[in-house]
Amino acid sequence: MAALSSNLLYAAFFLYLIGTFIFGGSIRDKKDRKNPNNWAKAAIAVTIAGFIAQTGYFITRWIAAGHAPVSNLFEFTTFFGMMLVLAFIIIYFIYKTSVLGLFTLPVALLLIAYASMFPTEISPLIPALKSSWLYIHVTTAALGQALLAISFIAGVLYLLKSVDQSKKSKKTFWLEFVMFVLVATLAFILVTTAFRSMDYQAVYQWTDKNDQSAEMVYTLPAILGPNESQLLTEGRMQPLIELPAIISGRKANTVIWSVLVGLVLYGALRLVLRKRISAAMQPLVRHVRLDLVDEIGYRSVTIGFPVFTLGALIFAMIWAQIAWTRFWGWDPKEVWALITWLFYAAYLHLRLSKGWHGEKSAWLAVIGFAIIMFNLIFVNLVIAGLHSYA
């Protein structure tokens, strides 16, 4: 069953990849959005097939594990990617906008590929997660974040279309920074795959935040090392910098590698394209209607915000009260869930009360997704807390 689950996830990945290319063909024809061309019809059909395959992965892994597969970073991130595709499919049938698929599916592909860099083995639930609230809280929060992520896609489309790329400005800088983050994620996947193929491992003895001695296994050369560490594996790299116990050295090390290799990959792309990546992508959005993508971004937030409120705050607080006898404890994940909620509440307030439509709304959507990804990646990988098992 576990092997079938993996094969279904691979199938979903390749179907999403094929769907991306077909959506690329569909945007060549400027056609009324209520009457999609044959390319668009084929692309959404392939996307739905991919979603069905990924749903099959989710069900078969659930059967193999005996619990919902949302208990670690690999499982949650793949589920997040699946919910992103579901949110896109729903939005597509409302607005019939093919270019949204051309940009959404690559983000889903990055999420699945990123997830696969973490341990994929099925493991039993730790006692803290043995609750029905795991399924209720995590799945609802992931769906809410996926809906909010659609507003990011719409925001990027709006900015690629509206920002003047003929001259340097703060707008071009920050839009290009978004492109760099996506490239850095791809770089992380590439470098992790490379060292995994070489079967690289280095074991360090270190002292955790409770002053207990433990071992930590690195799968990338240690630029950043764990607290008070000693290398146990011969012939491996000694850490250049030692981190305090509150920060996971191995996970912080992956972030540094992502940034460094991301800079190299980004520089190579700039040399090949001989222009900013965002400028090179502008032809893809030449038929985009700004008013339409602005509406899509806003509607995604109005649907995603209450779903996220239920999953990430209300259901989470109920479970925390049951599990830890307190509904709030200022754990890093709790704090950043609250920050995310406050930001999107501010987004809705500024849009409805202050008239922040169009470009301002698009920038807010991009910032909101950056907060979501900071919570998913940095808080999970670097900051130790009660949710570190994720």
Q: pLDDT by residue (tens digit) across 38-86?
A: 888 899 999 999 999 999 999 999 888 888 888 888 888 999 999 999 9
More confident residue, 188 or 164: 164
59 & 32 share domain: yes
Compute the distance between CA of residue 98 and CA of residue 372 in angstroms, rounded to an integer: 25
More confident residue, 362 or 185: 362
Q: Residue 389: what pLDDT?
A: 47
Q: Residue 200: what pLDDT?
A: 87
Band of the pLDDT at 250, cuts 50, 70, 90?
confident
Band of the pLDDT at 29, cuts 50, 70, 90?
low
Single out the residue in 216, 239, 274 at which a domain terminates.
274
* CB 79, CB 65: distance < 8 Å: no
Distance linking the first and last C-alpha atoms of the chain: 23
118 & 135 share domain: no
Q: Residue 52: what pLDDT?
A: 96
- Residue given tokens 């920060």 in the structure block: 247
Cross-strand bridge partners of residue 383: 247
157 & 210 share domain: no
Mind listing the pLDDT tens digit for each residue in 310-329?
988 888 888 778 766 777 76
- Residue 359 C-alpha from the chain's centroid: 23
* CB 333, CB 387: distance < 8 Å: yes
Percent residues over pLDDT 90 in the chain: 38
**Counted domains in the chain:** 3
**In angstroms, what is the C-alpha Rg of the chain?**
21
Report, as an integer, the average pLDDT of 142-155. Answer: 93
Report, as an integer, the average pLDDT of 195-222. Answer: 84
200 & 290 share domain: no
For 326, the domain range is 131-165+279-390
Tokens matching residue 194: 């490379």
376 & 283 share domain: yes
pTM: 0.85
Mind listing the pLDDT tens digit for each residue in 254-275?
878 888 999 999 999 999 999 9
Single out the residue in 125, 156, 177 at which a domain terminates.
125
Core vs surface per residue 236-249: b (16+ CB within 10 A) or e = eeebeeebebebbb
Residue 89 pLDDT greater than 90, yes or no:
yes
